[in-house]
Amino acid sequence: MAKDISVHIISFSIPVPANFGGVIDVFFKLKALKNAGVKIHLHCFQYDRKPNSILNEYCETVNYYKRNTGFKSTLHILPYIVYSRISETLIDNLLKDDYPIIFEGLHSCYYLNDERLKNRVKIYRESNIEHNYYFNLAKSTNNIRKKTFYLLESLKLRLYQKQIRFADHALVVSQKDCQYLKDKFPNKDIIYLPSFHGNSKVVSKEGSGNYVLYHGNLSVEENVVAALYLIDIFKNVDIPFIVAGLSPDESIYRAAKDISNIKIIDSPNEEDMHQLIENAQINILYTAQATGLKLKLLNVLYQGRHVLVNSKIVSGTGIGNLCSIADNKQEMIEKLNNLFNKPFSKEDIFDRENFLTISYNDKTNAKKLISLLG
């Protein structure tokens, strides 16, 4: 137990509810570190979420800072996701002691090179190569205003990425991103450390389900594009398809209208989503972004039956061997027809247990992180 270790964690958002990629990693990191005896001082930027008392169960202190959103924050030379998260109260709180600091994403890195923190252990936690993420968002939208914002943000983030050189360690969620950062920062300690996810054992069911599921935050551009792509496939496939997630974009409803085998489920609660994942015959995932680690991929591997993905979603993760992979619509249809009629077996579950409980184990990865805290 790491009883004498304290750490500051600067989170780009309030990590409860833990219902999308970045905050899932933050929240279950808190749990894993707390269970290992680490004393956590959490700092959260607040803009679209409310303070949550659940965090007090895992942290010694929880501090909230208003994020400075709005048009004016987009005009600065710094990336919007960084400039809107500057807080003098935050740096004042960090200076009250000499504990190590974990900066979650480039979003939270404004004070990474602050002279007042030069003698502190500073750890950068990567979840995406952010400039690539925003560039791909720009490619995925036809809205001129959004496209312009995403392209400018991508350029700013590409320039701002050099901030990482002020970290003592960089913890990276995928092997592909890890190699990218090693090439960019050959003299820095770049470490592959998969995302924290909260699953402790594989609970996938044997046998068969009677539908295919796609799930995600359905108001996010990347996931809207994925849902529309998959709906276009399923209108030509006689297999029940459920699209479930937070606040579905209106374009998803329009695309699925009058297609009898497609059902949209708006904002299911955590238990209902778990049941949807667990009972599906196939969990299908798609992305245009070959960066980071899609945490919903880990969730469906721990909880669901067959998993069908495109190659970009498993790029650099090492878990492609646990999935069926298809990279165009015809391949998707062929794999769907094959997997929908194939019961999920004990051997399939055994293969997942063997790999996931070693490489993607929260307890083991917490120990690796603690070893860097000094």
The residues spanned by each domain of the chain are 6-197+362-370, 212-358
* Cβ neighbourhood burial of 81 (10 Å; 0-12, 13-18, 19+): buried
Separation between Cα atoms, residue 222 and residue 241, nearest integer Å: 19
* Cβ neighbourhood burial of 96 (10 Å; 0-12, 13-18, 19+): exposed
Q: Which of left, alpha, beta for 372 (phi over 0: left; psi -120 to 50: alpha)?
A: alpha
Kindly report, residue by residue over 32-58, the tens digit of the pLDDT.
999 999 999 999 999 989 999 999 999
Separation between Cα atoms, residue 321 and residue 129, nearest integer Å: 24
Is 1 a residue whose pLDDT tops 70? no
Are β-strands 189-192 and 212-217 bridged in parallel, bridged antiparallel, or unpaired? unpaired
Kindly report, residue by residue over 317-328, the tens digit of the pLDDT.
888 999 999 999
| Lookup: tokens for 249 | 């974009």
Separation between Cα atoms, residue 80 and residue 172, nearest integer Å: 22
Reported as a pLDDT band with limits 50, 70 and 90, residue 93 is: very high
The residue that leads in pLDDT, 289 or 344, is 344
C-alpha torsion sign, points 314, 9, 82, 18 = positive
Class of domain 212-358: alpha beta
Q: What is the DSSP letter of 212?
A: E
Q: What is the pTM of this model?
A: 0.90
Fold match, 6-197+362-370 / 212-358: yes
| Lookup: tokens for 34 | 């707390």
Could you tell me which CATH number the domain at 6-197+362-370 has? 3.40.50.2000
Reported as a pLDDT band with limits 50, 70 and 90, residue 292 is: low
Residue 301 contacts residue 352 (beta carbons within 8 Å): yes
Closest Cα to residue 326, out of 339, 340, 310? 310
Is 290 a residue whose pLDDT tops 80? no
Cβ atoms within 10 Å of 362's Cβ, excluding its own = 21
The mean pLDDT value for 14-42 works out to: 94
Is 77 a residue whose pLDDT tops 80? yes
Kindly report, residue by residue over 150-176, the tens digit of the pLDDT.
999 999 999 999 999 999 999 999 898
Is 264 a residue whose pLDDT tops 80? yes
Is 316 a residue whose pLDDT tops 80? no
| Lookup: tokens for 17 | 């509810």
Kindly report, residue by residue over 205-235, the tens digit of the pLDDT.
999 999 999 999 999 888 999 999 999 999 9
Instruction: Report residue 113: phi and psi, to 5°.
Output: -105, 15
Is 280 a residue whose pLDDT tops 80? yes
Cα distances from 80 to residues 77, 86, 108, in angstroms, run 9, 10, 11
pLDDT on residue 317: 81
| Lookup: tokens for 285 | 């995932």
- 171's enclosing H/E stretch is strand 169-172
Residue 277 contacts residue 300 (beta carbons within 8 Å): yes
